[in-house]
Amino acid sequence: MPDQPHVLRILWTRFAWRHWRLAPVSSWLLLLILALGVAAFFSIRLANEAAVAGFANFTDLITSESDGLITAPVGPLPTAVLKDLRQLLGNTPVNLVPVLETSAVPPRRAETEGIGARPTYQILGLDLPALVNLSSPAYGGGLPATASAEASPSAPNQPGGGLRTNAVYISAALARRDQLTNGSRLSLVINDRLAALEVAGLIPNRPNQPAAPAGLLIMDLPDLQRLTDKVGRLDRIEFVLEPGALRAERWAAIKQTLEGANLPAAPRWVVSSSAERREAGVTMTRAFRLNLTILSLLALLVGLYLVFQGLNGAVVRRRNEIAILRSLGVTARQIQQAWLVEAAVIGLVGGLLGLALGWLGAQLAVQTVGRTMHALYFGRNVDSAPFDFQEALIALIVAVAASTVAGWRPARLAANTPPAQIASRTGTASDPGGRWLQRMDLGLGLLGLGLLLTFLPPLRMEGGARLPLASYATALCWIFGAGVFAGQILAGFARFFQWLKWDSVPLGLACSHLRKPSGRHRLAAAGLVCAVGMTAGMAILVGSFDTTMRGWIARTFQADVYLSSDGDQTASSINRIAPATWESIAKDPSVKQANVIQGRELILNGVSTLLVGHDPRFFRDYSKPAWVSAPQDDTVFDAARNDHLVLASESFSERFHVAQGEVVQVPVPGGFQPVTIAGIYADYGNERGAMLLERGQFAKWFGTEMAASVILALQPGSDPEALRAKLRAAHPGLGVFTSGFLRGEALRIFRQTFAVTYALELIGILVAVVGLAFTMTSLLWERRNDLATLRALGLRRRELSWAAALEGGLLAVAGLSAGLLVSLALGWLLIFRINKQTFGWTLQTDHPWGQLIILALLVLASATLAGWFAGRWSTRLPAEREE
Amino acid sequence: MAEPPTAGRGLVLTAKDVAKAYAGRPVLRGVSLELRAGERLALTGPSGSGKSTLLNCLGGVDRPDSGSICFKNQALELMDADGLTEVRRRDIGTIFQFFHLLPTLTAAENVELPLQLNGVARAERTDRVRSLLERVGVAGRSQALPGELSGGEMQRVAIARALAHAPAVLLADEPTGNLDSRNGAIILDLLQELSDETGTALLLVTHSGAATHICHREIHLRDGLISGVRKADTD
Ligand SMILES: Nc1ncnc2c1ncn2[C@@H]1O[C@H](COP(=O)(O)OP(=O)(O)O)[C@@H](O)[C@H]1O
Ligand SMILES: [Mg+2]
């Protein structure tokens, strides 16, 4: 029969649409569930996008987009290199933009303020007078403009004219947020000092570029060099070509010239294209993004399971109608198409709803995801996630496609409904998943395959990240394998209760249905196994993490007082403590011993990690490291003998595949230094990995005495609080923390990161129970004639409700027993495979039994309750009139 | 019984040696019959004798194991499932014991549905639905949902729906089985009048002796075999 669109239209307008209108609550529920899945997917992707977009150079916002830049391999470049470059490039039409960059935070308002509570600003030092060239419309550029109309007329605000010392240009967003105008004061901690800045104007917005974020500040280069003790030094020099044809080719030519050149002021330096750097930023976070995408797909999958259950239930309830339509001459294919269209429409509407929710969610997520990425990788702020049409389209397509897939089986089921004349004879033909879930061999096979997969190594990605793909596959295999066995367990329980011969009609009724579980029962039990397994597995991971972290924190923060620049809030912060400051502090009479810590970000094989200069003896005595491979002897702790010996963190050895005794080539200004790994210690604070070197060697190799932090052990009997107050008064730019405070903060940050897992656990339970409720209503609907008969036989509504409650409860018991068993395996997998492979951390296993028991009771109670409500609902169903 | 149809009118439906078994148990064991345009044929027999099975085979919702069924010179056994559905949509009207009205559609919409499925234009549909509902005497309830109608009213709407697309054959499986005798009589009268008016052949499965009166012929089934044929006798 040719396709007949008018039939589809009738099916849609007269039937599907009408059912949706007649049952608004369940319709909205279904849409909302899908929308939530899509929202999770979309918001995570948007937040990601925003975080990565934050990686684009800030300078792009003010000058035209740069074509490339040069940096030193480690540390700063001397300013003199500018002259070399000019000479080298002759009169090639290219603008050189020297840049110095630092981060800063406002001084703390309260002494107890938590880490990360204050906003972090990014300050760019630019050669403002020279930038006038770039502000010509040819570059689409613009220069800082006056902040507001009320600017004092006497203020000499002309760029290139007499700039005031410590003049700062701010974004319109910040001016609005903090009500700043020209002449407003802005006090910020830079390195170990408090700097007073004065607002001199606004950063202009460039057409076709996002507005400058609130966290971006711009200063004249010499001012910032002075403020950061980097006179004569630069972080990078950017190259900006005039826009026009052949721009890429012109840049390539310049790059070639640069690469072959010899710059007297900087013997070693690195030239890179902006496009490459952006690419690198994306690569660095690829694994992180992939992990998040897997998580968000999981959310979608859960939505789909429920859409499947919902549609399946709808088919069951509309079975009569379908049968009559078949009698009246609607073909099976048309029925199937109509249901697929219905599923797709659910996907579309739910998807659109999800986009709206997801966009809102993304704004929240950038705060958390953005902060994580910020701390882990970039050290740049992201404060909003713009709506992205391409991402929206992807999310919508995924939603429609996925919903259609979820509707596939229900649509087939609908199409298989025979005409009304014989439909009543064949009984109910809908038994989703029945065949698959009865196959014990399939269950065993999946469990075995999962076990084999655990032997596979993680996928190593560009940028040093590892993705435990095989372990994720193991998790899936185990969950589905256990799901297959849940049906068996269900039947076992039912037979057991029957064997007990308790004299209870509801229990007898419930067991009679479960003794030979239908496909619907098996599917519901498998759904519970999945939800309980993942939820409890996650709880085991978090519990183990919690125990391990607490132990580590208690051991690690054993010294008394910790100092860092108060501008230092993240792993990649570049605020430092000047030698004069830390020397004077170390001489304080109450200080017994000081560990001065220096640090540098290193790129090894294109992968970023940390090199730390410290006092190894102090580390051993006060940080009490947990050894993964303990040093063989005391050499590494002896300043006289530990030349070129380092301690490496477990993450480092995992990431770079190096073991104790192996040698690593460390890039330093002017060459490489070979270091030997003397020992490997556990570290849960840093997943990038770190090598610890004796500080004297570090200072010599990098030619700096600036410290990242200082750790103090006090003389017996001295009061850390008193010293803290004294140091804060003497050095307002220093952050001074007692070990007690730091321990609390470390735990707080850790808990905050894992708070989302509790939300996930709740969602897991919710999904399992909603899925079970859908199942129960379908089951009871199919049984409505028997229920009418039972009522005619004299059963009370209450007894029937109880029978349904017991059926739901027994389903939950079966799902829970298989689910908890698989969760133990998943917990092991998460701790010893997924976590170890991703972060390089070994955790001490700790099963949070209390939490698992609460979880089990919650699932049991809500499943019983769902069954009870479904049972009560079913007793009011009209019986079908049968022949 | 009523007058037999004028001879020479075309054959609408023929069955030849139709046999069917369920799970090895024969239900129909070689049944042959013919139905002419405008003819009313009663199919009687004890419960379980295979009446519904035969009707389902004739209507193309079930397939016989052997034998042949021809509908307007088309052999049903040669058609695929979609072909059978197409025949049902165009040429067959069905009336059920339990009415089987669609619960979410009003009476008028139920009657309109076969017309929609056959692609009839809206204006024509509206006219036809109104006249059909008037004809079966439920015009006043055209906007009511099935749940708001009495059994007799439901079956009248079902008859209007079955005749809406002017099918060649009307198949009715115990259409009065769920009605009281008064309402049953009204329905039977209606069926008789309408088939006379429209020339639609009627195959009526029934238990009741009253129903056989409106038919031209009666075929009696027993254990899957025709055990007797009765021509219309004059009242
Ligand atoms: N789908 C089926 N599966 C098994 N047996 C069936 C089926 N349909 C009908 N039967 C059997 O075939 C026999 C005839 O049924 P039916 O045609 O409904 O008889 P009638 O309508 O004359 O009462 C009965 O014994 C019935 O049990
Ligand atoms: Mg019958």
Q: What is the pLDDT of residue A61?
A: 47
Instruction: Check A1 against B83: CB less than 8 A apart.
Output: yes
Q: Which residues contact A87 (CB under 8 A, 6 or more apart)?
A: none
**Range A634-644 average pLDDT:** 88
Q: Of all protein residues, whose CA lies closest to atom 4 belonging to ligand 1? A: B22
Contacts of residue A419 in chain B, CB cutoff 8 Å?
61, 88
Q: pLDDT tens-digit profile of A495-526?
A: 898 888 777 888 888 888 888 888 888 888 88
Last residue of a domain, which of A424, A453, A486?
A424
Higher pLDDT, A674 or A538: A674
Q: Of all protein residues, whose CA lies closest to atom 26 belonging to ligand 1? A: B48
Q: What is the pLDDT of residue A117?
A: 64
**Across A7-11, B36-40, B206-210, which has the greatest mean pLDDT?**
B36-40
Q: What is the pLDDT of residue A159?
A: 42
Instruction: Check B82 against A1: CB less than 8 A apart.
Output: yes
CA of B98 to the centre of ligand 2 (A): 12
Contacts of residue B86 in chain A, CB cutoff 8 Å?
1, 329, 331
Place of tokens 């990038």: A688
- Determine the longest span between alpha carbons in chain A, in angstroms: 103
For chain B, the residue count is: 235
A52 with A78, same domain? no
Q: Which residues contact A161 (CB under 8 A, 6 or more apart)?
A: none
Our CA-based measurement puts residue B6 at a distance from the nearest CA of chain A, in whole angstroms, of 30
d(CA A180, CA A167): 13
Other C-beta atoms within 10 Å of A593: how many?
Answer: 16
A541 with A594, same domain? no
Our CA-based measurement puts residue A358 at a distance from the nearest CA of chain B, in whole angstroms, of 35
B3 within a domain of the structure (yes/no): no
d(CA B232, CA B128): 33
Q: Which residues contact A535 (CB under 8 A, 6 or more apart)?
A: A760, A761, A764, A765, A823, A855
Q: How many CB pairs under 8 A join A and B?
A: 85
Instruction: Check A18 against B104: CB less than 8 A apart.
Output: yes
A579 with A707, same domain? yes
A247 within a domain of the structure (yes/no): yes
A742 within a domain of the structure (yes/no): no
A725 within a domain of the structure (yes/no): no
- Residue A279's pLDDT band (boundaries 50, 70, 90)? low
Phi/psi at A147 (nearest 5 deg)?
A: -65, -40
Instruction: Check A19 against B104: CB less than 8 A apart.
Output: yes
State both tokens at A327. Answer: 């009698």
Q: Does B100 touch chain A (CB under 8 A)?
A: yes
Residue A589: domain span:
561-717
Atom of ligand 1 nearest to the CA of B221: 22
A97 with A186, same domain? yes
By C-alpha distance, which of A597, A834, A803, A594 is closest to A712? A594
Q: Which residues contact A621 (CB under 8 A, 6 or more apart)?
A: none
With the most atoms of ligand 1 within 8 angstroms of its CB, the residue from B25, B52, B58, B227 to mutate is: B52
For ligand 1, residues with CB inside 6 Å are: A 425; B 22, 27, 45, 47-53
A870 with A788, same domain? yes
CA of B52 to the centre of ligand 2 (A): 4
CA of A613 to the centre of ligand 2 (A): 93
A736 within a domain of the structure (yes/no): no
Other C-beta atoms within 10 Å of B17: how many?
Answer: 13
B53 within a domain of the structure (yes/no): yes
Instruction: Check A10 against B116: CB less than 8 A apart.
Output: yes
Contacts of residue A422 in chain B, CB cutoff 8 Å?
56, 61-62
Q: What is the CATH number of the domain that holds B125?
A: 3.40.50.300
- Residue A145's pLDDT band (boundaries 50, 70, 90)? very low
Q: What is the pLDDT of residue B232?
A: 66
Q: Is the dihedral of CA A34, A37, A40, A43 positive or negative?
A: negative
A110 within a domain of the structure (yes/no): yes
* pTM for the predicted model, two decimal places: 0.68
Whether residue A204 is predicted with pLDDT greater than 70 in this model: the reply is: yes
Q: What is the pLDDT of residue A88?
A: 84
**Is the separation of the CB atoms in B229 and B218 below 8 Å?**
yes
Q: Closest partner residue to B102 among A4, A324, A883, by Cβ? A: A324
Q: What is the pLDDT of residue B234?
A: 41
A89 with A175, same domain? yes
Instruction: Check B89 against A329: CB less than 8 A apart.
Output: yes
Instruction: Check B85 against A418: CB less than 8 A apart.
Output: no
B1 within a domain of the structure (yes/no): no
Number of domains in chain A: 4
**Across A143-152, A360-369, A428-437, which has the greatest mean pLDDT?**
A360-369
Higher pLDDT, B161 or A92: B161
Whether residue A790 is predicted with pLDDT greater than 60 in this model: the reply is: yes
Q: What is the pLDDT of residue B58?
A: 93
By C-alpha distance, which of A91, A200, A185 is closest to A151? A200
Phi/psi at A162 (nearest 5 deg)?
A: -70, 95
Q: Of all protein residues, whose CA lies closest to atom 25 belonging to ligand 1? A: B48
- Residue B220's pLDDT band (boundaries 50, 70, 90)? very high
A758 with A813, same domain? yes
A464: left (phi over 0), alpha (psi -120 to 50) or beta: left
A519 with A597, same domain? no
User: What's the DSSP call for residue A67?
Assistant: S
Provide, for chain A, the percentages of residues in helix, strand and coil under a 3-state DSSP scheme, each rounded to the nearest 5.
55, 15, 30
Q: Which of A271-275, A777-781, A787-791, B192-196 has the lowest mean pLDDT?
A: A271-275
Q: What is the pLDDT of residue B2?
A: 53
Q: What is the pLDDT of residue B211?
A: 84
Task: ipTM value, please give it.
Answer: 0.85
B19 within a domain of the structure (yes/no): yes
Q: pLDDT tens-digit profile of B61-116?
A: 889 999 999 998 899 999 998 888 889 889 999 998 888 888 878 999 999 989 98
Place of tokens 């029945």: A434
Ligand whose nearest atom lies closest to the CA of A422: 1
Instruction: Report how far apart, in Å, the C-alpha atoms of A583 and of each of A211, A229, A351, A579 are.
Output: 43, 17, 61, 6
Q: Which residues contact A457 (CB under 8 A, 6 or more apart)?
A: A470, A837
Our CA-based measurement puts residue A24 at a distance from the nearest CA of chain B, in whole angstroms, of 15
Instruction: Check B102 against A881: CB less than 8 A apart.
Output: no
Q: Which residues contact A777 (CB under 8 A, 6 or more apart)?
A: A313, A870, A873, A874
Classify residue A367 as exposed, middle or buried by CB count within 10 Å of its CB (0-12, 13-18, 19+): middle
Whether residue A617 is predicted with pLDDT greater than 50 in this model: the reply is: yes
State both tokens at A869. Answer: 């409500």
Residue A600: how many CA atoms within 13 Å on its side-chain side?
A: 23
With the most atoms of ligand 1 within 8 angstroms of its CB, the residue from B31, B52, B53 to mutate is: B53
Last residue of a domain, which of A696, A717, A738?
A717
Atom of ligand 1 nearest to the CA of B47: 23
Q: Of all protein residues, whose CA lies closest to atom 12 belonging to ligand 1? A: B27
A629 within a domain of the structure (yes/no): yes
**Across A179-188, A382-391, A564-573, B198-207, which has the greatest mean pLDDT?**
B198-207
Contacts of residue A19 in chain B, CB cutoff 8 Å?
104
Our CA-based measurement puts residue B94 at a distance from the nearest CA of chain A, in whole angstroms, of 8
**Range A726-732 average pLDDT:** 84
Residue B221: domain span:
11-231
Q: Of all protein residues, whose CA lies closest to atom 13 belonging to ligand 1? A: B48
A241 with A312, same domain? no
Q: Which residues contact B23 (CB under 8 A, 6 or more apart)?
A: none
Contacts of residue B172 in chain A, CB cutoff 8 Å?
none
Alpha helix ranges (H) inside A657-702: 695-702
d(CA A807, CA A810): 5
A588 with A681, same domain? yes
The full DSSP string for chain B is --PPPPTTPPEEEEEEEEEEEETTEEEEEEEEEEEETT-EEEEE--TTSSHHHHHHHHTTSS--SEEEEEETTEEGGGS-HHHHHHHHHHHEEEE-TT----TTS-HHHHHHHHHHHTT--HHHHHHHHHHHHHHHT-GGGTT--GGGS-HHHHHHHHHHHHHTT--SEEEEESTTTTS-HHHHHHHHHHHHHHHHHH--EEEEE-S-HHHHHT-SEEEEEETTEEEEEEEPPP-
B101 within a domain of the structure (yes/no): yes
d(CA A64, CA A565): 33
A838 with A776, same domain? yes
Q: What is the pLDDT of residue A1?
A: 45
Number of domains in chain B: 1
B5 within a domain of the structure (yes/no): no
Q: pLDDT tens-digit profile of A406-432?
A: 899 889 988 888 888 776 665 555 566
Higher pLDDT, B103 or A297: B103
Mean model confidence pLDDT for chain A: 79
**Is the separation of the CB atoms in A42 and A358 below 8 Å?**
yes
By C-alpha distance, which of B68, B74, B186, B114 is closest to A6? B114
- Residue A713 bridge partners (DSSP): A593
B126 within a domain of the structure (yes/no): yes
Q: Which residues contact A316 (CB under 8 A, 6 or more apart)?
A: A428, A430, A778, A781, A782
Q: pLDDT tens-digit profile of A345-357?
A: 999 999 999 999 8
Q: Which residues contact A437 (CB under 8 A, 6 or more apart)?
A: A483, A484, A487, A519, A522, A523, A526
CA dihedral B111, B113, B115, B119 (to 10 degrees): 170
A43 with A102, same domain? no
CA of B223 to the centre of ligand 2 (A): 13
Whether residue A3 is predicted with pLDDT greater than 70 in this model: the reply is: no
B95 within a domain of the structure (yes/no): yes
Q: Does B97 touch chain A (CB under 8 A)?
A: yes
Our CA-based measurement puts residue A30 at a distance from the nearest CA of chain B, in whole angstroms, of 21
d(CA B140, CA B161): 16
